[in-house]
Structures are given as C-alpha cells and as structure tokens.
Amino acid sequence: MNTTTRHAPGRLQRLMMAGAVALAGGLSSAPVLAETTLRITHFLPSVASVQRGVLAPWCDDLEERSDHEIRCQIYPSMQLGGIPSQLPDMVRNGVVDIVWTALGYSAGRFPRSEALELPFMLPAGGVAGSRIAWEFTQGPASEDFSDYHVLAVHSDGGAVFHSRPRAIRGIEDMEGLKLRAPTRMASRLIDSLGASAVSMPPAQITDTLAKGVIDGASAGWEVVPPTKLAEVTHNHTESAPHQATPTVTVLAFLMNKESYDQLPEKAREALDELSGEVLSRRFGQAWDDAIEPVRTRLQNDPEQTVIALDDNTYEAMRDASRSVTEAWMASNDGGIDRAALVRSLESIAKSHTLPPE
C-alpha cells in the first residue's frame, strides 16, 4: 500500500504536475493536471471485507467517475495513530479526510443515533438494517452529524453471541458469562440478560478470550474471519430470520467538511453520485455477502455449533432487556426527546420490514 507522506496533514492534498515546452519565439505551458488524494483510515485489518469489499472498489469507482481527479490512500488498522474511539475527532479536525468508524465506539458522541443500537430494534442483515439506519440518521438523528459530511451509514448485520464455555440456547445460559461488548448499548443489553459486559475493540477479542479474561463476545459475523474468533469460541447464537437482532453496531463513513467543500465541482459531483443511500446499501450488501459464507462454514464445521434463538428465548430476552430501552428514553441528557426518537425509529423500521398492505 502506498503510504507516501503528504504535506499539511489534515487538509485536502493536491498534487500538481506541470510541464512546459519551448516554442519558437517564447515558452508555452502544457495544461496543468490536478489530483486530489483523499486519506481514508479505519480500525480493521486490510483483509477485512470493509476494505476489500467496499472501500477499495469504491475508491476505484470514484477515481474513474471523476476522470482521475480523485484518488485514495487507505490506512487500515489505525496506521496513522490513535484508537478507534478517536476516529470522529480525527476526521472532524482534518487529521484525515475520511474515516470509517463505529458510532458506538465513541460513547456519547452520537447520542440520537444510539436509538439504532437499542435491544431488538432493527432486523438482522446488512441491507435491511442499513436502509433503516441511513433514513434515521439523515432525518430524526441528523443533528448528530452537523460536524461532518456524511457519506454513508450502515448496520453490521446484527449481533451474534459467540461463546466458549457453553452454548447460549436460553436466557439462563447467559448467567455469569463475561462477554465482550462493542458499544455502550450492547453493554447494557448484555448486563440486562444476566451476563457481564466487557467493552473492547475487535482487535483485542481473540487474545482476551484465549487468556480466559472473557467467556465470549457480542460481534457480527463479519468480524469472525479477521479476528479469528472461531479459533477461540465454538458456539454462535443468533436471532432467527423472522426476529429482530439483539443489537447492532452502527458504522459510518464520515468526511471532513472542508475536504468536501474544497473538491473541484466535477470531483464533488462524482463523490455525491457514489455516496449517500447508494453507498449505505453497498456497505450493507457487502456485509450480507460476507455473513453467509462465514455462517455456512461454521454450520458445516463439526467443531462449531450455530444456534438460532427459539421464539420462547427470544421473547424472554426481549422482556429482560426492555428496561434498557425504557431507561434510555427516560434520560434527559442533552435535552433530547429520546422517546420521540424511538417512536420515529420504530415507524421507519416498520415501513422497511413489513410488506405493503
């Protein structure tokens, strides 16, 4: 990967190339070619499906659509420094041009969008959840993103409980387990189900599990290959296709506002055409494409057990976690009408998941 140092980190870079040819009677300059290089960073390895399945091909499309006015440099695994929770600050402050980040990793930064992570709120699946997440964050939760130019918002497809000491078949199996939680809402969900939540980013899951510090993890299917999670857990519990997922990790592709505003008009038009709802769905589809092979591989592995929640367990978990949603709605932090946000989200989710009458 090309990681050539750029001048003035945090501002849009333009690499100018000029040539001149001597002509009889004077000097004439050749046309100047400008290239905008967007620095993109994220927290997963380069082998993860986010880079291979979305970021790299999106950058190729952007370069072609803009007639090569835009190119990208991608820095995976936080190669430019910092920790995942700092990604929103990095892009807002212009350290990079674009970040791909999990909103819940920066607790409290996107308070309205937390509604998406509440227990059993969204359907499982990348495309299904991403359509809802995009509409909600561009409408009722749009104030969360006033400091950014939002390129996409999407779902990770929904939480799966990966456990080692025992399979989670009923709510009683959660009792006493220490489970990794990706977000604050996931922590509250896990605690409400009788387990103990331990917050940590994906990169720490496998080593922490191997050392016995935790007993399992809440993580989407897509995280399993890059973190080698199946090497240290052998039981994987998910919601059934007709059920809502226990929680989601909401991910966003955020751009520095100044970087966006400084783009040449044609380049900005190309970026707009490839972003927004169409890019959110593209992320969601990439997640769906990544989920099924992982699930199928583990289902066919005699050393692995994949479990879908039965309806009784599903209802028991929903009942046990209802207090999480009620407490979130009752909070007055920031003067936000959280109950109204939940009602709006439920309406949006219903419009996307129910067939027309």
Domain ranges across the chain? 160-247+292-353
Burial class (CB in 10 A: 0-12, 13-18, 19+), 265: exposed
Of 145, 137, 130, which is closest to residue 54 (Cα–Cα)?
130
Q: Name the band, by pLDDT with cuts 50, 70 and 90, for residue 354.
A: low
Please identify which residue in the block is written with the tokens 């072609």: 64
Of 72, 92, 84, which is closest to residue 43 (Cα–Cα)?
84
Rounded mean pLDDT, 327-334: 91
Q: Which helix (H) or strand (E) holds 60?
A: helix 56-65
**Nearest 5°: CA angle at 93, between 140 and 52?**
75
Note the pLDDT of residue 96.
98
Note the pLDDT of residue 35.
82
- Give the tokens for residue 159: 């939480």
| pTM of the entire predicted model | 0.86
- Report yes or no: 226 and 45 within 8 Å, Cβ to Cβ: yes
Note the pLDDT of residue 32.
36
Q: Name the band, by pLDDT with cuts 50, 70 and 90, for residue 356.
A: very low
Query: What is the distance between the alpha carbons of residues 349 and 353, in angstroms, rounded to a whole number?
Result: 6
Query: What is the distance between the alpha carbons of residues 39 and 95, in angstroms, rounded to a whole number?
Result: 9
- Give the tokens for residue 153: 């918002």
Query: What is the distance between the alpha carbons of residues 249 and 104, in angstroms, rounded to a whole number?
Result: 7
Q: For the chain, give the percent of residues with pLDDT over 70.
A: 89
Q: Name the band, by pLDDT with cuts 50, 70 and 90, for residue 29.
A: very low
- pLDDT at 328 exceeding the cut of 80: yes
Q: In Å, what is the CA distance from 153 to each residue of 8, 122, 145, 237?
A: 28, 14, 11, 25
Q: In Å, what is the CA distance from 152 to each residue of 96, 109, 256, 292?
A: 17, 17, 13, 23
Q: Which helix (H) or strand (E) holds 310?
A: none
More confident residue, 34 or 159: 159
Query: What is the distance between the alpha carbons of residues 242 and 308, in angstroms, rounded to a whole number?
Result: 11
18 three-state secondary structure:
coil
Query: What is the distance between the alpha carbons of residues 45 and 175, in angstroms, rounded to a whole number?
Result: 33
Q: Which CATH class is domain 160-247+292-353?
A: alpha beta
Rounded mean pLDDT, 114-137: 97
**Lowest-confidence pick of 10-14, 252-256, 288-292:** 10-14
Query: What is the distance between the alpha carbons of residues 211 and 180, in angstroms, rounded to a whole number?
Result: 13
Burial class (CB in 10 A: 0-12, 13-18, 19+), 302: exposed
**Nearest 5°: CA angle at 355, between 354 and 357?**
110
Note the pLDDT of residue 49.
87
- Give the tokens for residue 170: 């009923």
- Neighbouring residues of 334: CB distance < 8 A, sequence distance ≥ 6: 111
Contacts for 195-201: CB closer than 8 Å, 24+ residues apart = 201/43, 201/83, 201/84, 201/105
Rounded mean pLDDT, 79-107: 96
What is the number of residues in the chain? Answer: 357
Q: Name the band, by pLDDT with cuts 50, 70 and 90, for residue 357.
A: very low
For the packed helices 184-192 and 311-330, what is the interaxial angle rounded to 10 degrees? Answer: 130
- Neighbouring residues of 315: CB distance < 8 A, sequence distance ≥ 6: none
- Give the tokens for residue 353: 């998941």
Q: What are phi and psi of 156, to 5 degrees?
A: -85, 10
Note the pLDDT of residue 202.
87
- pLDDT at 24 exceeding the cut of 90: no
- Give the tokens for residue 342: 């939940």
**Extended strands (E) in 247-303:** 250-255
Eight-class DSSP state of 54: I
pLDDT in tens, 168-202: 999 999 999 999 999 999 999 999 999 999 999 88
- pLDDT at 10 exceeding the cut of 60: no
Rounded mean pLDDT, 248-266: 97
